[in-house]
Structure 1
């Protein structure tokens, strides 16, 4: 075997072990007995110790020096392996293990604190998570910006300053659009009771309609919806609310976007660095375009209206146009995952600024709740009513995902670019969506984005697919056109 062959064989074993760790995480969020949490923390720590040892194995450096790839794919594999290796060797093994242990335990603590509306029960473990993640960031940054080092895990070649500049460009138009919309009469909200088993049956139908392959996946329930796995085993979760079936349906469509990306990657990349989505921003571009530009479109909501009537009978919405307005209703609310398209990115900007301050040491964990509540009141004009609607609503910080939040808005920006190109490439798109047929859109996304996995850098894959340099203007134009039409602006 050549050095390249040996390196790739080693990498496939490492990736397989990483998939096992991911499956432990999926189990913890879905079916694990609550009392198993302390043992699971030790299990996660043990497998992270093995993974860290492999990722930082000195043989990887030797193979990288000796490997001679023959093509573009091989060069890309080495690029991603080298990037991961360079990061792994900067983080002490005991620190990586400690982070795995505390974040596994913190996940259960967060879920209970959220259920009990008790921030004080969560803050001590969050303090530990933040402390360990700062140490990791400092090790990775080596004198540079700690938050930039953390963003690199989720959106390579992007800095906090670059993200802040994008957000500064977006904010004025978003705030102006929100103000204009909120001055107009609000469409009717969905009311009534919707059987949760019926929701789950319809959500399975929606998952399949958007191209999710249930032969290589499954749909389960969790406190916080997520997608897990890659290649031949890609699982999603959703959640149900008896009074809000949209929470279930659009969480499912969103997670199917993530899962379809992973299922759509060239199978030749299986269990290699190219066999996963290239960044969370690109990942979010898929989930957001599935959920919003496709799933909340006038064409698709017309089809969904009929599906809901078949499933639930008369549910109080008169016709397809009224249903479209209800699905896209702009209204006051606390929850990021339930936010309308106009206000969603403002929720992300709040989290971005707070977590950046936490990592810089400018904000202490015991100040977080007050800082969140003050910022929310300033941005949205009303007060947070309870912790589960405030700083306890998201799972991300409990599991150490600092630097992840801004990728949601980067995904929206990328989705705006992709949708602009998609509409030009598939002129019959609306007619297809009106029949519940997403294949024109999903096939285009699979061909131009998903199949490539990690072959190209994040911004490069969006530029190649859309034909434009990624920026927020297509997204903002789309939002202004859509909501001006909906609200008669």
Structure 2
């Protein structure tokens, strides 16, 4: 039986979680349908709500309840653990700083969107400098004697350290770079998709893809945004996508990617609704779901065969001769500028660039005034291509304007986790490809729901992956998968 202290603590936390969902909905609205002229008021609203949440999360009664709490089972014990971690962490950050960050990042988001459209990094730099100053101040409050960057990383991947990630990423880089060179130097080079694909057709087929991967639109919706994202948990989980007339894969795979995030949130045990374990446990685990949906499942030969047929039905003859050629076009490797559009060979190189640059920003080794030059130099070194304009370089991602320093490495960590999950999935469901060839993802999504989704935050990040795959996760399965797939595609 739940004791009185736990009952009161959990009831108070439920209201806090509900208010957090409201704030998330304000963020969704800001990026999708908010009138342009509402920005200043929205910044004030976000700052006010951030202050309310900060006061709730640092309420002295939480400390009293925690001191008296006697959890009756592992579910209650995990909730108490997470509430304690949040209470101690939030208490170290002044409320005024929390509110200032919320208001500043709301204004910075609008400044970033305008600067991106105008290719004007210099105009955005002062606002980014202010976001960085406030973020470093928060990191200093949280870090104690530890690394500033690790204090921020804890927001997105609890338990991870930059030293551990640097070691993992260091093991990834040589084989990724070697594979990239072999692929780009291969005689076999599939042509890119060409032609215009109507926005209506793209949106209709992307909605079909979301449903095919298990997205419950009764508890969600799909909208357009500059930068695709997912938002919410429990009974209200929303996703966004974007369309480009001559690049339908951008829309389709952005949708599948965000569907992976959404299905994770929708698949969590409803008994955990509006509790600390009623959401994804970390962004690395979250990203493992979006990436396995998008890549190992969505870009595999069986599923792309089905998608090829559906695209012909929607768009007619679009110049691709057969399903094998379509599979090659979907997985075509090129040194593009944009992370969210990158092929699997290049994607993690994009992330490693950002990981290194943002650590240098937080640690004071790199100034915002020098960021664009540093980005361009690193991109030319890693990709062999000069950045042509800021919207294809330092201004392409929304994360830094939103103060999300420490978020980027979870993308590659998610890819590593997805590699491990894919190997285990193939082991446990040997006839998976036959279902995928019919557009049926349910054997994979059922497996993921049972082993990952339903647990929410019940287990720690690495623990939930280790339980699912039967051992500690590492980068080996991802690298093996990439080398096998692209060696076959490019005749290496």
TM-score after normalising by structure 1: 1.00
Aligned 8 A contact 1:417 1:468 in 2: no
What residue in structure 2 maps to residue 133 of structure 1? 135
Task: Give the match's secondary structure for 1:165.
Answer: helix
What residue in structure 1 maps to residue 399 of structure 2? 396
Matched, 1:369 2:375: no
What residue in structure 1 maps to residue 101 of structure 2? 99
Distance 2:221 2:284 in 1: 24
Matched, 1:236 2:239: yes
Specify every segment of 5 or more residues in structure 2 that has no aligned partner in the other structure, as ranges: none
Q: Deviations over 1:152-188 (max 9, x none)?
A: 0000111111111000000011011111000113201
Aligned 8 A contact 2:335 2:346 in 1: no
Equivalent in 160, 165, 170 of residue 163 of structure 1: 165
Aligned 8 A contact 1:186 1:331 in 2: no
Moved over 4 A (4+): none
Distance 1:332 1:278 in 2: 33
Equivalent in 129, 145, 148 of residue 147 of structure 2: 145
Specify every segment of 5 or more residues in structure 1 that has no aligned partner in the other structure, as ranges: none
Distance 1:118 1:186 in 2: 35
Aligned 8 A contact 1:303 1:436 in 2: yes
Distance 1:141 1:407 in 2: 19
Distance 2:337 2:84 in 1: 41
Q: How does 1:346-357 map to 2 (within 5 A)?
A: 346-357=349-360
Task: Give the match's secondary structure for 1:235.
Answer: strand
Q: Deviations over 1:110-145 (max 9, x none)?
A: 001000111111101000000000000000001211
Equivalent in 75, 79, 82 of residue 80 of structure 1: 82
Q: Deviations over 1:413-460 (max 9, x none)?
A: 000010000001111110000000000000000000000000000000
Distance 1:357 1:86 in 2: 27
Matched, 1:49 2:75: no
What residue in structure 2 maps to residue 182 of structure 1? 184
What residue in structure 1 maps to residue 111 of structure 2? 109
What residue in structure 1 maps to residue 473 of structure 2? 470
Equivalent in 261, 267, 271 of residue 270 of structure 2: 267
Matched, 1:304 2:279: no
Q: How does 1:289-438 map to 2 (within 5 A)?
A: 289-438=292-441
TM-score after normalising by structure 2: 0.99
Q: Deviations over 1:373-413 (max 9, x none)?
A: 01101111110000000000000000000000000000000
What residue in structure 1 maps to residue 457 of structure 2? 454
Number of aligned pairs? 489
Distance 1:129 1:332 in 2: 30
Equivalent in 32, 35, 39 of residue 33 of structure 1: 35
What residue in structure 1 maps to residue 210 of structure 2? 207
Q: Deviations over 1:11-52 (max 9, x none)?
A: 000000000000000000000011111100000000000000
Query: How big is the alpha-carbon RMSD for the aligned residues of Structure 1 and Structure 2?
Result: 0.6
Distance 1:371 1:240 in 2: 30
Task: Give the match's secondary structure for 2:407.
Answer: coil
